[in-house]
């Protein structure tokens, strides 16, 4: 039986583990966190990725976990309403997309393989050495093992990518925005809805997943150069975000305070990963590690799910994996460009035009779903019975 080590236990990792088991492969997953991280912000599963989760038999469970956001309300600088629309009016589609918390999806995927796959939590790969018989791997814990293949499913800042292809900067396409995510008490009593406040170049969002005690807060802003220096310094991240929103009204003073006090602050650039190749020898990448499209596309989890399915069927031919999904990946990455996010207009004129456009959509039926979301038909592979 061939053996595969996967780095990362979020979406791409456990989904790949599932399909590799169905191809008769022995799988180990290494995850740097102590446990699987549950809950979190909502992500979408749509288009071709819906076919993947249907083939996994997960549609009923995912429908149960569906968040069903009812409205997105856009606010002016003073908190007055600029527009209020249903999510489909923004993204397109007939409402059949699934929206689940990232951590709920990760837990559901993990549940399908936890009994058949070895999970090494609180650990990571520190070195890899490839030879004709496999890849020798040393883990941070000191454990040493040899695998036939190693797959990086370890996200935007993938360690497997850095070990195999070199520094991230070569592949990192900064889209011109930074964001901070954190949780805070639901003091406005929001239910199944999101509020998005805008000033030119700055945005704040509150996202209520269901009618829970806490909401997800996001503070996002345009910035010409990516603040790479702040990545090593959490206090510098808090100071940077606080300084950007220092003079703003509405709930911003409260949000900045909550951001500064939060113990789950997540700060990053809004970026894509674009690489000419996603494999080298016995190592390959999948999901955000290979082709993060950025959350502005809303397609990261869907690409991860589709990529995992296709990679599992092509473990003996990584070239076929790349050829099969590259057009789908690129079509979805091209949904956004530098500085053109509808959610974060950069000037007063573009913000006014965006709001006028949103108001016109308040009463119109939702547009058809984007063809890019379904721009691939899944290949069929011979699989072992579940």
Ligand X SMILES: Cc1cc2nc3c(=O)[nH]c(=O)nc-3n(C[C@H](O)[C@H](O)[C@H](O)COP(=O)(O)OP(=O)(O)OC[C@H]3O[C@@H](n4cnc5c(N)ncnc54)[C@H](O)[C@@H]3O)c2cc1C
Q: Residue 31, interface with ligand X (CB under 6 A)?
A: yes
Among 164, 299, 314, 355, binds ligand X (CB under 6 A): 299
Q: Residue 76, interface with ligand X (CB under 6 A)?
A: no
CB of residue 58 vs ligand X: minimum separation in angstroms? 15
C-beta nearest to ligand X: residue: 300
E strand spans, the chain:
3-7, 26-31, 42-45, 71-75, 81-85, 98-101, 118-121, 125-131, 134-139, 144-147, 149-152, 172-185, 193-199, 202-208, 214-222, 266-273, 279-280, 283-285
CB of residue 280 vs ligand X: minimum separation in angstroms? 18
Residues 232-261, interacting with ligand X (CB under 6 A):
none
Between 119 and 158, how does the x/- string for binding to ligand X read (CB under 6 A)?
Answer: -----x----------------------------xxx---
Residue labelled with tokens 């979020």: 10
Q: Residue 313, interface with ligand X (CB under 6 A)?
A: no
Closest by CA to 321, choosing from 308, 312, 331, 311, is 311
Q: Are 199 and 248 in contact (CB under 8 A)?
A: yes
Q: Residue 87, interface with ligand X (CB under 6 A)?
A: no
- Give 233's contacts (C-beta < 8 A, 6+ positions apart): none
Residues near ligand X (CB under 6 A), total: 31
Taking the C-alpha atoms of residue 316 and residue 207, their distance in angstroms, rounded to an integer, is 43
Q: Which is nearer to ligand X, 41 or 76 (CB)?
A: 41
Q: Residue 215, interface with ligand X (CB under 6 A)?
A: no
CB of residue 30 vs ligand X: minimum separation in angstroms? 5
CB of residue 260 vs ligand X: minimum separation in angstroms? 19
CB of residue 179 vs ligand X: minimum separation in angstroms? 7
* CA distances to 77, 297, 303, 367 from 175, in Å: 24, 12, 19, 26
Query: Looking at residue 183, what DSSP letter applies?
Result: E
Q: Residue 32, interface with ligand X (CB under 6 A)?
A: yes
- Per residue, the 3-state secondary structure of 95-129, as one string, reads CCCEEEEHHHHHHHHHHHHCCCCEEEECCCEEEEE
**Contacts with ligand X, residue ranges (CB under 6 A):** 7-13, 30-33, 41, 43-44, 102, 124, 153-155, 159, 181, 287-289, 295, 298-302, 304
């Amino acid at each position: 039986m061939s053996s595969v080590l996967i780095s990362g236990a979020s979406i791409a990792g456990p989904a790949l583990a599932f399909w590799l088991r169905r191809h008769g492969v022995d799988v180990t997953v290494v995850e740097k966190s102590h446990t699987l991280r549950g809950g979190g912000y909502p992500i979408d599963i749509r288009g071709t990725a819906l076919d993947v989760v249907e083939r996994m038999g997960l549609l009923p469970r995912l429908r149960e976990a569906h968040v069903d956001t009812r409205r997105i309300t856009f606010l002016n600088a003073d908190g007055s309403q600029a527009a209020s629309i249903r999510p489909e009016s923004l993204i397109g589609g007939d409402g059949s997309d699934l929206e689940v918390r990232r951590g709920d999806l990760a837990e559901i995927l993990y549940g399908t393989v936890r009994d058949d796959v070895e999970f090494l939590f609180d650990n990571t790969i520190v070195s890899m050495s490839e030879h004709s018989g496999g890849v020798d791997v040393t883990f941070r814990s000191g454990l040493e093992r040899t695998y036939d293949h190693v797959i990086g499913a370890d996200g935007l800042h993938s360690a497997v990518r850095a070990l195999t292809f070199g520094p991230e900067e070569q592949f990192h396409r900064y889209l011109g925005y930074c964001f901070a995510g954190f949780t805070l008490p639901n003091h406005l009593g929001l239910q199944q809805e999101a509020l998005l406040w805008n000033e030119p170049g700055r945005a704040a969002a509150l996202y209520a997943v269901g009618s829970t005690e806490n909401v997800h807060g996001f503070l996002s802003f345009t910035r010409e150069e990516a603040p790479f220096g702040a990545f090593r310094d959490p206090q510098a991240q808090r100071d940077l975000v606080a300084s950007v929103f220092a003079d703003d009204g509405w709930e911003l003073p409260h949000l900045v305070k909550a951001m500064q006090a939060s113990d789950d602050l997540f700060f990053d650039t809004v970026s894509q990963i674009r690489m000419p190749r996603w494999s080298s020898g016995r190592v390959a990448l999948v999901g955000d590690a290979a082709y993060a499209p950025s959350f502005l596309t809303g397609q990261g989890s869907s690409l991860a799910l589709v990529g995992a399915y296709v990679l599992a069927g092509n473990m003996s031919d990584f070239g076929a994996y790349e050829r099969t999904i590259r057009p789908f990946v690129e079509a979805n990455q091209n949904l956004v460009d530098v500085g053109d996010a509808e959610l974060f207009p950069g000037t007063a004129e573009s913000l006014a035009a965006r709001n006028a456009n949103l108001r016109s959509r308040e009463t119109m039926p939702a547009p058809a779903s984007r063809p890019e979301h379904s721009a691939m038909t899944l290949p069929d592979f011979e699989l072992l019975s579940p």
